[in-house]
Structure 1
């Protein structure tokens, strides 16, 4: 199991990081104010971008624009503008908090993400920490929020001056005094101050798939192992992408029914051999964390890590002529696969408990599964 996981990590690390993103329709604005409709590489920025990679058509070569070259750009429903602003460089780690109540500003020219545009515009900048800015027509001003300590061993205090700053926003009249005093320094709370709807970002839709697979199973107990037997499963998948990372990260639920079996022989006192066997029909509920590596708009590689439980629906067994209880089994696994269009295939390996609760070696029983599955994605 550990070797398999290590192999997948090394393989993922060896892939070019640029294969994880794709070009999407967008625009760039140069220093002369000329707007060009183009294809922009969407990195799904977790931190504020420092450059823009774009091309004028599918066949054209890639261009790279630094902050000094591009005054604005947009892609996938997100817009960024270049501004010179005061960036608070105060430390944020609790063990090195500043003793100064006021922000420690440094002038920087950066790309700000546009959260709202209007008589009052709201912007976001994210590097070591997330900062917010506003513009009422007289330049971009930082909204002040800072944690600090008055003395080395004193309590942590907060300068939340932004709550006073936002009272001048027209939309502040729509919030009660209590709500203003408890306003959090987050995009969600700050956008409540605007009369109009906040800027909409491309929505992440759920994905659905039907899947089936089969492979080889092995029951591995403390002193004996079963023979390798075929097994199969079928089910469906619901997948949701996380709201960052340009659809690279997702979580999926894969309810399925699987049939697993194993057998082995033991020698009786009279020298004859007797077959032991286990046959289990499970309802399996794995939760999958998926990392996608986009090759182009139609194809991608992906790596999965999963945990789940197997609920025995029915079973048949002969184990040394004794009765045993079957329990819910738990397992973990990894997989790697490829998707093209609506079709997907995956190689998967899982390790888990083998259901037996009062078997002599129940603390050391394992059900090992290696499989290939195929899916049709909607």
Structure 2
């Protein structure tokens, strides 16, 4: 119970810190054409946001920008969104939902398009239901979708409408772009950005590339030693409960973390093979042959390699510091001399067979190098016997050093 209260106290104290929102310098342009410098909450939106938060000063009121009151918002060479009314394909790209219709199903929509490149030729992007759509504009012309659509050419064969190649080939006229530049062009952000950039360079157009700061996936490998505070109780049918003292043990883990390439690196998944140990002794008075009372020394030893597999969410204080929350499922992959033994009562010579547990953690990371975490493990059974109930609880303080 004390471990639970300690963890909850740390968790709620930290959540109070998390409630502070970090904004970055940017601007908005209102529907009346007035440009306002402000601070914008950069959510690294995957698609087209319908709203966003901003404030006029650090301690100012948080306001909401929408399609009704903003025509553009962004941060210099970091991100830029432009309100546009465009015809956009409504076709589903899920392989199980493809139709035999080759032409796109266009519908007019008003949305914030993400600017990828801005110049004489500009490139834009949106995403809906994991379907990526790219748009382009030449000079002061209309913004048009670059058409790419998969369809069923036959009941067993997928065809592809690649009209985007023709769209670009007929409008981007430059001596440095030849026929193969378009024929081999893939409908991917990197390939399209490269082509548009080459065209703008060819005609000596000033170009702003907003993809330079696109969040990329990262991989961290962290050494994570720590201490554990663990307790165990055993209740055998017909006997009194044995409550072992809380034991301080060691743990050491090696965590592999994959930071997902969206939402400004706020989400990650991790796996952490960990050695941990617990050992405690307890004298126990039991009845032998119905009437004779005897004392036995029961020793519980639990050493294992456990494997937490979980997800983590970061809340950034600034560029160098972040708090985080994580949750993981824990299974033991190897037992190392784990057992419960009695000095003179065979009924308490038991094998350890641990159940799955859940781990909940809260921590702080600095400069993506150093970290500290408080982690609570839910109660788990250590003994797999029908007549015995066991409850193992633990809490850990973990330090981390990322060496990648």
Q: What TM-score results when the alignment is normalised by the length of structure 2?
A: 0.67
Q: 2:268 aligns with which of 233, 250, 260?
A: 250
Residue 335, structure 1, aligned to residue 360, structure 2: yes
CA distance in 1, matches of 2:287, 2:122: 81
Question: 3-state DSSP class of the match of 1:291?
Answer: strand
Number of matched residues? Answer: 356
Q: Kindly report the root-mean-square deviation, in angstroms, between the aligned alpha carbons of the 2 structures.
A: 4.7
TM-score, normalization by structure 1: 0.70
Cα deviation, 1:46-102, whole Å, max 9, x if unaligned, reads: 331112321111122222222243232224922212222111122445565444321
The 3 A distance-change label for structure 1 pair 149 and 365 is: farther
Number of the residue aligned with 1:87: 88
Residue 304 of structure 1: aligned partner: 327
The answer for the alignment partner of 1:159 in structure 2 is: 161
- Residue 43 (structure 1) aligns with: 43
* Residues 220-369 of structure 1 aligned to structure 2 (within 5 Å): 227-228=243-244, 229-235=246-252, 239-254=257-272, 256-261=274-279, 274-292=296-314, 300=323, 302-307=325-330, 309=332, 311-312=334-335, 318=341, 320=346, 331-337=356-362, 339=364, 344-350=372-378, 368-369=392-393
- Structure 2: tracts of 5 or more residues without a match: 202-208
Q: Is the 8 A contact 2:80 2:210 kept in 1?
A: no
Secondary structure in 2 aligned to 1:162? helix
1:373 aligns with 2:397: yes
With over 3 angstroms needed to count, the CA separation of the structure-2 counterparts of 1:104 and 1:353, relative to structure 1, is: same
Q: Distance in 2 between matches of 1:173 and 1:221?
A: 80
| Distance across 2 between alignment mates of 1:276 and 1:172 | 81
C-alpha distance in structure 2 between counterparts of 1:241 and 1:21, whole Å = 21
Question: Deviations for 1:186-235, whole angstroms, at most 9, x for unmatched residues?
Answer: 32443343448772125566676856342224377997987444243344
| CA displacement at 1:22 relative to structure 2 | 3.3
Name structure 1 gaps, 5 residues minimum.
none
> In structure 1, how many angstroms separate the alpha carbons of the residues matched to 2:21 and 2:59?
17
Matches within 5 A, 1:166-245: 166-167=168-169, 169=172, 173=178, 179-180=184-185, 183=186, 185-193=187-195, 194-195=197-198, 199-201=211-213, 203=215, 212-218=226-232, 227-228=243-244, 229-235=246-252, 239-245=257-263
The 3-state SS of whatever aligns with 1:251 is strand
